[in-house]
């Protein structure tokens, strides 16, 4: 099967995440999209992050009944930072029969050379790049030029997604300020946040 891998902190998951995943599924002709919550995000090691289990629970609530979406928990018990290259390696080891495509925002590409072992990422997955309207992404050749020592060609496909200014950080601030997140997160996620009093105190 062709599997889209959508990694992130998802603190909390919101509707823009789901829209990107659905557009990736459709335009990338994917059989499924697997959401992979990061256990220890490398760029947030000095920040407090909501517990892995609660973030995974919110993801499960968000995609209940969606057969093409799945929550993959393989990063939960892996020690050390949650590096994408390692996650893709584990996925290939556990599911050698599948083809994996990594779902990324186009704004990530200029910084991909700063990620942990970016060449391994390119070796293990086609990049499925969500392009914002009016914001051109790097081409495969332009991206390859930023990755010295790359020994394989960059496999990349772009998808168009609606322009959505929704961020998990803004949602946490809204909840903390007592503001509504209605229509910004799935209703079950909104209820989960309210019942467990998430994001009430600053992280």
DSSP string for 87-154: HHHHHHHH-TTSEEEEEEEGGGGGGGGGSSSHHHHHHH-EEEEEEPTT-PPPPHHHHHHTSTT--SPP
Question: Which distant-in-sequence residues (6+ apart) come within 8 Å of 84 by Cβ?
Answer: 7, 102, 115, 116, 121
Q: Quick check: 78 and 86 in contact, CB under 8 A?
A: yes
Does residue 84 lie within any of the structural domains?
yes
Structural domain for 47, as ranges:
2-164
Residue 52, token pair as written in the block:
């892995």
- Domain harbouring 67, CATH code: 3.40.50.620
What share of the chain in percent tops pLDDT 70?
96
**Residue 189 domain-assigned (yes or no):** no
Query: Residue for token digits 């393989």?
Result: 74
Total count of domains within the chain? 1
Which DSSP state fits 162?
-
pLDDT tens by residue, 144-178: 999 988 999 999 999 998 878 899 999 999 999 99
Q: Report pLDDT for 136.
A: 67
CA 185, distance to chain mean position in Å, is 16
110 and 139 Cβ atoms separated by less than 8 Å: no
Q: Is residue 180 part of a domain?
A: no
In a domain, 191, yes or no: no
Q: What is the pLDDT of residues 94-137, one digit of tens each?
A: 999 999 999 999 888 999 999 999 999 999 999 999 987 666 67
Angstrom distance (rounded) from CA 55 to CA 197: 14
Residue 98 in domain: yes
Those residues with Cβ within 8 angstroms of residue 95's Cβ, 6 or more apart along the chain or in another chain:
3
Taking the C-alpha atoms of residue 141 and residue 174, their distance in angstroms, rounded to an integer, is 40
- Pairing of the two strands 99-105 and 156-160: unpaired
What's this model's pTM, rounded to 2 decimal places? Answer: 0.94
Phi, psi values for residue 109, rounded to 5°: -60, -45
3-state secondary structure of 70: strand
Mean pLDDT of the region 181-190? 96
Rounded Cα–Cα distance for residues 11 and 200 (Å): 13
Burial of 171 (0-12, 13-18, 19+ CB in 10 A): buried
Residue 202 predicted with pLDDT over 60 = no
């Amino acid at each position: 099967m062709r599997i889209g891998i959508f990694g992130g902190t998802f603190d909390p998951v919101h509707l823009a995440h789901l829209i990107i995943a659905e557009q990736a599924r459709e335009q990338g002709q994917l059989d499924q999209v697997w959401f992979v919550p990061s256990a220890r995000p490398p760029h947030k090691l000095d920040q407090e992050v909501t517990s892995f289990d609660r973030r995974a629970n919110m993801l499960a609530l968000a995609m209940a009944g969606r057969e093409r979406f799945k929550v993959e928990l393989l990063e939960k018990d892996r020690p050390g930072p949650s590096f994408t290259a390692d996650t893709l390696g584990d996925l290939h080891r556990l599911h050698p029969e599948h083809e994996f495509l990594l779902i990324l925002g186009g704004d990530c590409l200029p910084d991909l050379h700063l990620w942990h072992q970016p060449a391994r990422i390119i070796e293990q997955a086609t990049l499925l790049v969500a392009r914002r309207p009016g914001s051109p992404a790097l081409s495969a050749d332009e991206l390859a030029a930023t990755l010295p020592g790359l020994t394989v060609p960059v496999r990349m496909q772009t998808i168009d997604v609606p322009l959505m200014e929704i961020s998990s950080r803004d949602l946490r601030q809204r909840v903390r300020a007592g503001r509504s997140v209605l229509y910004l997160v799935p209703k079950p996620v909104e209820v989960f946040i309210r019942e467990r009093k998430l994001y009430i105190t600053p992280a």
